């Protein structure tokens, strides 16, 4: 008897689960179907008690709608996440190459739990991303991100320590000699990778680190270095193509009119852009880190973008092109 009473006390929770799992704005259940599902869980439900329970769930905040008539049906009409939002999250998880296959599947299962079982089927789809394949991920990357966020969010803010590595030609990890001590400022998602923007104690400057190439990330009991008042993080991210560290240089670029969207995607809507009188080209004034990733970005447009100033950046780009050409001469 005591066990039966205990089960009955769980009735509202089970009823809530039934609405979450088996109904949505397009799929409903009759009172009889709901009663059968409750019966499977050892719970009986009278007509009067059912109406009272529905009102209790509505008072709790659940958007339960009912159709009128002899075969009245009930459904949960709205949720915290719309299906379109969950599809977007599922696509992002599916295409994130920093996640292992197991991590991706685990996260997708949790996302699917936020909608009904009928809608969850629509989340089970393959997402193909042009030009990239899933790498052998550092399985600790999620824990790295968590540790970094804790160091940033804690009060007072703390430094972190970690080991940093790159791969050699045999695909073996090659670790930097010293453990890195840094003050983390922000995590940036760029070109399918997480980057940490931090103050590097070893170099005494701002540095960027690929989070999936960090190991043994720990929050240490050292106070964080305060960020410089004039440090503009948003501008820093915009100017560091592929998150390469280095000094910023103001450049002038002449671009074909077809490159407007590419330029705005790279530098943002606040970049200075001056159309030419003939309407066929425009000039861009932007700060960049003049390193190989920037030159590669310019080169991809096949001559439709020219570096005009400064002369030293223009000369360095020409020198790089000449060096590449020399490697293809017979």
CA dihedral 227, 245, 160, 218 (to 10 degrees): 150
pLDDT at 8: 65
pLDDT at 136: 52
Tokens of 176: 């930097």
pLDDT at 132: 44
pLDDT at 177: 81
Q: How far is CA 95 from CA 92, 135, 190, 194, 200, in A?
A: 5, 11, 14, 14, 31
Which of 200, 186, 269 has the alpha carbon at shortest distance from 232?
Answer: 186
β-strands 173-175, 158-167 pairing? antiparallel
pLDDT at 256: 92
Decide if 222 contacts 158 (C-beta within 8 A): yes
Query: Is the CATH code 1.10.10 the one for domain 2-76?
Result: yes
Tens-binned pLDDT, residue by residue, of the chain (330 aa): 455 556 667 899 999 999 999 999 999 999 999 999 999 988 888 888 899 999 999 999 999 999 887 788 999 999 999 999 999 998 888 877 777 778 888 898 999 999 999 898 888 765 554 444 455 556 688 889 999 999 999 989 999 999 999 887 677 888 988 899 999 999 988 777 789 999 999 889 999 998 988 999 999 999 999 999 999 888 887 777 565 667 788 999 999 989 998 888 788 778 888 999 988 999 999 988 888 889 999 999 999 999 999 999 999 999 999 998 899 876
pLDDT at 130: 46
> Does the model's pTM come out above 0.85?
no
Tokens of 49: 């008690």
* Terminal Cα distance for the chain, rounded: 92
pLDDT at 126: 52
- Architecture of the domain made up of 141-229: Roll (2.30)
Same fold, 141-229 and 236-326: no
The CATH code that applies to domain 236-326 is: 3.30.70.240
* Domain positions in the chain: 2-76, 83-123, 141-229, 236-326
Report the distance separating Cα 214 and Cα 196, nearest Å: 10
């Amino acid at each position: 008897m005591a066990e039966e009473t205990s089960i009955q006390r769980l009735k509202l929770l089970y009823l809530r689960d039934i609405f979450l799992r088996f109904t949505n704005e397009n799929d409903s259940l009759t009172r009889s179907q709901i009663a059968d599902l409750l019966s499977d869980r050892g719970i009986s439900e009278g007509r009067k008690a059912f109406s009272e329970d529905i009102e209790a769930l509505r008072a709790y905040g659940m958007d339960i709608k009912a159709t009128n008539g002899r075969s009245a049906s009930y459904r949960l009409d709205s949720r915290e996440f719309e299906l379109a939002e969950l599809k977007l999250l599922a696509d992002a998880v599916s295409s994130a190459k920093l996640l292992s296959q197991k991590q991706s599947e685990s996260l997708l299962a949790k996302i699917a739990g936020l909608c009904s079982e009928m809608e969850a089927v629509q989340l089970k789809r393959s997402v193909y991303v042009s030009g990239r394949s899933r790498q052998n991920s550092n399985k600790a990357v999620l824990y790295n991100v968590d540790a970094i966020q804790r160091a940033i969010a804690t009060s007072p803010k703390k430094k972190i320590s970690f080991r940093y590595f790159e791969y050699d030609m045999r695909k073996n990890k090659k670790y930097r000699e010293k453990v890195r001590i840094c003050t983390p400022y922000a995590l940036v998602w760029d070109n399918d990778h997480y980057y940490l923007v931090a103050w590097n104690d070893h170099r005494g400057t701002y540095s960027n680190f690929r989070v999936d190439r960090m190991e043994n990330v720990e929050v240490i009991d050292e106070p964080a270095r305060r960020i410089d008042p004039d440090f503009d993080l948003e501008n820093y991210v915009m100017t560091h193509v592929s998150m390469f560290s280095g000094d910023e240089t103001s450049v002038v670029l002449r671009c074909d009119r077809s490159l407007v969207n590419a330029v705005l995607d790279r530098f943002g809507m606040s970049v200075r852009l001056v159309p030419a009188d003939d309407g066929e080209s425009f000039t861009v004034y932007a700060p960049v880190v003049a390193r190989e990733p920037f030159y590669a970005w310019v080169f991809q447009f096949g001559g439709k973008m020219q570096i005009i100033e400064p002369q030293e950046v223009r000369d360095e780009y020409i020198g790089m092109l000449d060096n590449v050409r020399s490697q293809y001469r017979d």
